[in-house]
Structures are given as C-alpha cells and as structure tokens.
Amino acid sequence: MTGPSPGIDGFRTPRATCLLAPNPSPMTLDGTNTWLIAEPGSASVVVVDPGPREERHLDRVHAEAVAGDRRVAAILLTHGHPDHSAGAARFAELAGAPVRAADPAQRLGPEGLADGDVVTASGCELRVVASPGHSADSVCLLLAADGAMFTGDTVLGRGTTFIASDGNLGDYLRSLRQLRDLAGTRGVSLLLPGHGPMLSDPAGTLDYYLSHREERLDQVRWALAAGATTPAEIVALIYTDVDKSVWPAAEWSVRAQLDYLTDQGP
C-alpha cells in the first residue's frame, strides 16, 4: 500500500482541507479525497465524502474536524459509490451529524442535495450543481468564497473518469458543458476532485474532458466499423493506453458510449 501523496493529503485552500483515505488503487488513484470545509474561526465544519469504511481514516477525519472544540455540522456526499460513501454512516455516528446526498438511500436525516440548493453551514455557502453522468446521483459543490468546485468523480485530478454502470454518457456530456460554463462565469479557479490532486485550470481541464469524450466516441465508431461486436472487443482495440486492470470498468464506459450512439441515430 502506498502512503499519502503530499500534494493531496493536507492540501488547503482558505476554507477547505483534504485528508486522503488509505485506499489507493488504479480506480481510486492515490485514494479518496475527504474534504473538510469551514470559514476560518468557525465553531463547526462540513465534511464532504467521508470515504470508505476504514476506521483509521474516519477517526483521523473526526479528530481533525472536532479540533479546537469544533463540531461537524453536516456530511455531504458527491455520490453514493462506496469509496466515497461507505464510511458515511459510521462517521455520522462518530460526529452526531446528518448525511445529505442526492440519492435518498444514502441520506441520514431529512435533507438531500438537489440542483441549486445552497448548503449554509460553518460560515460557508456551498451551492449544489447536479452533475449526473459518472453516476446518476453525482453532484458538484461550488464554494464561491474560494473560487473552488468540489467535483467528486465527475472530474478527477489525473486522467479521466469512467461512466459507471449507473451512469449515462449523454448526461455526462451535458454536465461537463454546464461545469465548463460555470468555470467561465462564476470565477472558478480550482477544481477539488474526489481522487487525485487539485486542478488549477478548470476551463482547460473541462475542455480536455469534452474533447477526450469525442475522441473516444470516434474510436468506438472505428472499432465497430473494424468488426468489433462486444464491449470487451472494443476495449481491447481502443483502450490500449489504459492499464488492463481497469479494462472491466472501461467496458462500462463502452456500453454507455454504445447506448449514446444508438440514441443519437445514424
């Protein structure tokens, strides 16, 4: 197991601190980024994505969150995949705080996260931006005071994300375009992802993500024309730049691409 990456663990903006979960893998990069958010001097903190059910990490996050006699005001989930959410219920027990999420099944408490909601807590305002695509329940969180957007798995700190089995490529492309518009109009200067280091060129990153998706679609069209008939055959032809350990996940993206091309028609 690799240790924390110094460029991610402990990274701070004026109002956000990253604590890296010890769950590195080809899919999670260095591990899951758990974010603690508070106005300096606030008596409370908001925790975004407690991460996996890993007691050492949850204890560490809790200790940091309540340092200086602070309390945890709320726990927010960018989406419900286990590497982000499996520790949420346990962390809620430790912290005595509600869990807010877009998916009702992930919530502990009465409040969810819907597009346009503003979470006001710990002296900060976090605006919810629905960003379905990687998963159906993905959201991003805009912290305008820091010019920062928490992106979960919608945008990663390195490489690009997969369209998971509960995702949709058409939705994902619309989400990326929406985030690109926000990067140009809302003063977003940092993307703070769920995996990997922070990104200081939001517009350039999102332009790359959009162009990458178009290139993958062109490659899928080519693979189909070359005679590939299954997602596994397409992956073997076009994902030669990706470690084979993540080819099963790449098949999810290919299925999403095939569905998208079918919906688009000839």
Contacts 24+ apart (CB under 8 A), 99-108: 99/74, 99/75, 100/74, 100/75, 100/76, 101/76, 101/77, 101/137, 102/77, 102/130, 102/137, 102/138, 102/139, 103/77, 103/79, 103/136, 103/137, 105/80, 106/77, 106/80, 106/137, 108/75
Give the pLDDT score at 266: 61
* Residue whose tokens read 């709320």: 74
In this structure, are residues 220 and 251 in contact, taking their beta carbons and an 8 Å threshold?
no
* Residue whose tokens read 């991460």: 51
Give the pLDDT score at 7: 56
Minimal CA–CA distance to 193: which of 1, 3, 7?
Answer: 7
Query: 80 — phi, psi (to 5°)?
Result: -95, 10
Report the C-alpha gap between 30 and 24 in whole angstroms: 5
In this structure, are residues 249 and 206 in contact, taking their beta carbons and an 8 Å threshold?
no
185: its two tokens: 């109009």
* Residue whose tokens read 């790359």: 208
Give the pLDDT score at 10: 87
- Pairing type for strands 33-37 and 124-130 reads unpaired
Q: pLDDT truncated to tens, each residue of the chain (266 aa)? A: 334 444 589 899 999 999 999 999 989 999 999 999 999 999 999 999 999 999 999 999 999 999 999 999 999 999 999 999 999 999 999 999 999 999 999 999 999 999 999 999 999 999 999 999 999 999 999 999 999 999 999 999 999 999 999 999 999 999 999 999 999 888 899 999 999 999 999 999 999 999 999 999 999 999 999 999 999 999 999 998 888 888 988 999 999 999 999 988 76
Largest separation between any pair of C-alpha atoms in the chain? 63
| Bridge partner list, 192 | 150
Residue 2: left (phi > 0), alpha (psi -120 to 50), or beta?
Answer: beta
- What letter represents residue 243's amino acid? D
Q: How many CB atoms lie within 10 A of CB 177?
A: 13
Give the pLDDT score at 4: 43
In this structure, are residues 172 and 40 in contact, taking their beta carbons and an 8 Å threshold?
no
Is the full-model pTM beyond 0.75?
Answer: yes
At 134, is the secondary structure helix, strand, or coil?
coil
